[in-house]
């Protein structure tokens, strides 16, 4: 059982600054909050899990409201939803994969883009203040989905053997070089790709969160909890401005990372499907 006070504390802002008059810089503990529900079971939920579920619920709700009654001449909500999906379709999927293959992979890539975006954006929503994607396993799940998609697409297109041959043996290379290049390609395609995707997103979100916490925690300390600071507390203005600027940047990063993640996944699928790469 969780007491109401604990629950309130867990659901509230998680900062590293406590009211003990000393400054605590943010730590990685930010990303490992204690359990709130179902502790000790596989369905244990902590604050970040709840944030993730909330993001999913909001995403579903928005798209459901926008598209529940689609009309030929769209209303405002439908127009926005259409523009958003059209961005993914035109700027990422059709551009990389072409119209024909794009149609097959649009559901996956759109789910990827909007899922990541929704979970990224919670990082700057007051009250949530943490990106759902700032836990390693979340980007990994998305990356694995992309991984399965590009391996599946390649094997379906070329058959297993030719797919691996295409991926591992680069054309136009003298054959002895394959002894070196094939293992490198193996490592690159099947191991580095998903890991680099996951890490890029994870670290962007983690670092963004830590910077935000650092700025606001410093502001809090300099303005309120710090004792005997004198004029030094004026630096709080700078940290506050820094925090606001970082919030804006985090918004851009949330969009950008969702875009890059989806774009690279589309590129990987394209490279699997293509005749030669």
Partner 1 sequence: MQDVNQAAGGEAPEGIELFIPAVYDIVWSIVPFIIILVFFWKFVIPRFTAVMDDRTATIEGGIAKAEAAQAEADATLDQYNTLLREARQEAAKIRENARAEGSTILAEFKADANAEAERIVANAHVQIEAERQAALVSVRNELGGMAIDLASRVIGESLKDDRRSASVVDQFISGLNEPAKAKG
What gap in Å lies between CA 149 and CA 161, rounded to an integer? 17
What gap in Å lies between CA 218 and CA 211, rounded to an integer? 10
Task: Tell me the closest approach of the beta carbon of residue 199 to partner 1, in angstroms.
Answer: 9
Is residue 145 at the binding interface for partner 1, with CB under 8 A as the rule? yes
- Is 270 in contact with 96 (CB distance < 8 Å)? yes
Is residue 56 at the binding interface for partner 1, with CB under 8 A as the rule? yes
Interface positions, 14-33, toward partner 1 (CB under 8 A): 14, 16, 18-20, 27-33
Binding characters for partner 1, 103-142, by CB under 8 A (x = yes): x--xxx-xx--xx--xx------------x--xxxx-xxx
Is residue 78 at the binding interface for partner 1, with CB under 8 A as the rule? yes
Contact residues for 85 (Cβ-Cβ < 8 A; gap 6+): 110
- Is 276 in contact with 171 (CB distance < 8 Å)? yes
Q: Which is nearer to partner 1, 149 or 263 (CB)?
A: 149
Contact residues for 184 (Cβ-Cβ < 8 A; gap 6+): none
User: What beta strand segments (E) does the chain contain?
Assistant: 35-37, 45-46
Q: How far is CA 81 from the centre of its chain?
A: 20
Q: Which is nearer to partner 1, 89 or 209 (CB)?
A: 89
- Is 55 in contact with 122 (CB distance < 8 Å)? yes
- Let me know if 234 is exposed, middle or buried by CB neighbors in 10 A (0-12, 13-18, 19+): exposed
Length of the chain equals 277
What gap in Å lies between CA 145 and CA 139, rounded to an integer? 10
List 1, 4, 72, 161, residue binding partner 1 (CB under 8 A) = 72
Is residue 43 at the binding interface for partner 1, with CB under 8 A as the rule? yes
Is residue 1 at the binding interface for partner 1, with CB under 8 A as the rule? no
List 52, 158, 193, 209, residue binding partner 1 (CB under 8 A) = 52
Q: Residues touching partner 1: how many (CB under 8 A)?
A: 63
Is residue 95 at the binding interface for partner 1, with CB under 8 A as the rule? no
Is residue 60 at the binding interface for partner 1, with CB under 8 A as the rule? yes
Residues near partner 1 (CB under 8 A) are 5-6, 9-10, 14, 16, 18-20, 27-35, 38, 41-46, 49, 52-53, 55-56, 59-60, 63-64, 67, 70-72, 74, 78, 81-82, 85, 89, 103, 106-108, 110-111, 114-115, 118-119, 132, 135-138, 140-142, 145
């Amino acid at each position: 059982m969780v007491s109401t006070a604990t629950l309130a504390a867990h659901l509230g802002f998680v900062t590293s600054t406590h009211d003990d008059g000393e400054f605590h810089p943010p730590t990685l503990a930010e990303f490992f909050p204690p359990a709130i529900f179902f502790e000790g079971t596989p369905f244990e939920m902590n604050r970040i899990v709840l944030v993730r579920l909330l993001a999913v619920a909001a995403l579903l709700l928005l798209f459901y409201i926008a598209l529940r009654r689609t009309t030929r001449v769209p209303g405002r909500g439908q127009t926005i939803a259409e523009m958003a999906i059209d961005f993914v379709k035109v700027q990422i999927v059709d551009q990389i994969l072409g119209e024909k293959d794009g149609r097959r992979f649009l559901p996956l890539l759109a789910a990827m883009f909007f899922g990541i975006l929704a979970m990224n954006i919670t990082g700057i929503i007051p009250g949530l203040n943490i990106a759902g994607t700032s836990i390693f396993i979340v980007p990994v799940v998305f990356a694995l989905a992309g991984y399965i998609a590009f391996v599946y697409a390649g094997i379906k297109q070329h058959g297993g053997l030719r797919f691996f041959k295409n991926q591992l043996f680069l054309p136009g290379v003298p054959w002895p070089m394959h002894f070196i290049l094939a293992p490198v390609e193996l490592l690159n395609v099947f191991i580095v790709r998903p890991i680099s995707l996951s890490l890029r997103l994870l670290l962007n979100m983690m670092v963004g969160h830590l910077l935000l916490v650092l700025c606001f925690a410093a502001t809090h300390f300099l303005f309120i909890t710090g004792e005997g600071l004198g004029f030094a507390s004026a630096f709080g203005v700078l940290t506050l401005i820094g925090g606001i600027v970082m919030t804006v940047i985090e918004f851009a990063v949330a969009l950008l990372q969702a875009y890059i993640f989806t774009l690279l996944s589309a590129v990987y699928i394209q490279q699997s499907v293509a005749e030669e790469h």
